[in-house]
Structure 1
Amino acid sequence: MMRDRVIYFFNDFLPHYYRILAIIGVLFDKFMFTFPKFTANVVAFVTLLRGRCRLSKVVTSYLVAMAVADLLVVIFRVILQRVFGFYYSPECNVVDTIGYISVSCSVWLTVGFTLDRTVAICFQRLKTRYCTEKGAAIVIAVVSLLSVLTNIPWYFKYQPYFCVISYWFITSPVWQQFDWGHGFLTPIVPFVLILLLNAVTVRHILKASAVRRRLRGQQSGEKKDDPEMKNRKRSIILLFAISTSFVLFWIVRVFSLAVQRITGQYVGIPFDYVVVDTIGTMFQLFSSCTNMFIYAITQRKFREEMINVMKYPFVVIRNVIKS
């Protein structure tokens, strides 16, 4: 009885949930076709691309790339697969493959951004060589290329001309090893790396803060302005906000994948695992819609520029009407 209720709940709730994600990530307005469509990831992309948020060009490069990857996740994983039902269309292999590529790219770009900020904060000698615009461009290009190459095999997951998983994919040890390795590389390894990098960053900040207080003759109960720490504060807050969001929204998915990999269950998966995996996927996809709100909450200048970007089309329309 409980199992039937759970199945009924998910069957009834999930379509509405993914439509809401589609509205947040890529807004389809049925009543205002003549007006601009504001989307979370598009607004974040345009706002960051203007370069007026008082963030370094290196940080901006990573955030723009992450916004594009998140937008692709929303389009292919949420809208095409779960809202429009491309899971059951002849084009499902293309949509599924691009969905895997976009998720992998989004996850590993988050790792790249976290590594860049860890190096910038903790390793000053390496910072001048690694934390540059050229270095960010190379990392983004390499992550994008590897995401494409490592996910191309998903195209052959389905039977030709039919959106049905091939029997060979289910039974072949080769495919099982590929699936195992893919789940291990995305997202288990990135999840662990982000936790480790943030632990290194927190440890360095605590030690550096204690040293600077001693050098400045501060006592633990006193509060004095520290210009250097103020300058680094925005970058540190942004790093921890993005990393914390990633960990919270991916932890269920990582747990379910880890259980599957450890137990080696590829067929006959228990119902409880299916429920956990479904919840993990819901949170994982929701994480692709949250970065703009993280930027808006943690960065005052981003909020101001975001408002200007959203107002701009209406200003143009108003000026056209007046003229």
Structure 2
Amino acid sequence: MAYPIVWQIEDVFYPLISAIGVPVNLVAIMILSRGNCGLSKCITHYLIGMAVADLLVVVFDAILWITVPIYLPHSFVKITPVCSVLSALRSAATVISVWFTVTFTFDRFVAICYERLKTKCCTERTAAAFLGTVTVLGCLESLPWYFAIEPRYIIDNIPWGCTHKQSYYSSPGWTAFEVINYILTPCVPCFLILLFNVLTVRRILVSSQMRRGLRGQKSAEKHKDVEMENRLKSIILLFSISGSFVLLWVTQVVYNIYARITDIRYYNSYTDPCFITDRTAKMLQLLSSCTNTGIYAVIQVKFRQELKNAMIYPFNQIAQAWNKWRV
């Protein structure tokens, strides 16, 4: 039987995502932590949190869960206890990453639409509290995945392999857990992100009309509205991050709903459209963990400058060392 084309794509895609995802998220964390990007501490906290969560998704899911088993099928990650831990960690990283995006969207929604709440809710302390709460809840939600795994075989008293227990497919408890898990991540987050963005757009349109009416057409033409310009930058960042997230996750959401309704558990062949859709949705999902740094670089001028400085820093150091050596 010919090697399925989807698997051939995955054999290249996941190592590539692993090779790209780690450095870009590390660079984002480093640059944002310096605090020189012209962003508020509140926004910076959320962006750093999202970059850390995306980095963990790449490490636990793309690298240890997928890439390593592809190229090292008999490595330590296939030992059942290790595999069980990775199953819980990859789920926790994904849940936390998704809900960090929701909290960031909610924070920007409050900041743009509710000026009175902005000073109380959109603060560094509140951001830390939200991120910490989401992290704890995400880990608790993902903990049951550790107990869903059993070994395929035993070699020298060491359990190897990683497969779901038989009770996972027959127990009402596991069925309920799986449904709740799919609802909480990513169905509810996608709905909330879309809802907050729609309400934000509605508020922006109303606010813009009111401000133009108050300032007058001539006044608006002669003077720049600094507040609206700053708000526009924040809106572009918000819509870019949340829009990218929704676009890359929508296939996963739609397919999960369809698979649950039609009760798809097995595929007829490797050319089955459902099989191809499922594997494609997973690749798009992991791609979402590598896009935010590119968004920052495109939108944020100061982030772009910091990135440029970081890239030329090693060459500057080498040039200085060379000049000292020559002297």
Partner of 2:208 in structure 1?
209
Using the alignment, how far apart are the partners of 2:229 and 2:246 within structure 1?
A: 26
In structure 1, the gaps of 5 or more residues are 27-38
Partner of 2:51 in structure 1?
67
The equivalences for 1:1-323 within 5 A come to 8-26=4-22, 39-85=23-69, 89-90=78-79, 91-159=82-150, 161-162=159-160, 163-218=162-217, 225-263=224-262, 265=263, 267-268=265-266, 271-323=272-324
Cα shift at 1:315? 3.0
| RMSD of aligned Cα (Å) | 2.1
Cα shift at 1:128? 1.4
Query: 1:97 touches 1:154 (CA, 8 Å); kept in 2?
Result: yes
Query: 1:122 touches 1:204 (CA, 8 Å); kept in 2?
Result: yes
TM-score by length of 2: 0.88
Higher Cα radius of gyration: 2
TM-score by length of 1: 0.89
Query: 1:15 touches 1:82 (CA, 8 Å); kept in 2?
Result: no
Cα shift at 1:273? 2.3
In structure 1, give the amino acid aligned to 2:255.
S
In structure 2, the gaps of 5 or more residues are 152-158
Question: Per-residue displacement from partner, 1:100-121 (whole Å, max 9, x unpaired)?
Answer: 0100000000000000000000
Cα shift at 1:286? 0.3
Query: 1:41 touches 1:292 (CA, 8 Å); kept in 2?
Result: yes
Using the alignment, how far apart are the partners of 1:303 and 1:248 within structure 2?
A: 24
Look up the SS of the partner of 2:150 in the other structure: coil
Cα shift at 1:311? 2.5
Cα shift at 1:79? 1.0
Cα shift at 1:22? 1.2
Query: 1:170 touches 1:267 (CA, 8 Å); kept in 2?
Result: no
Aligned residues: 306
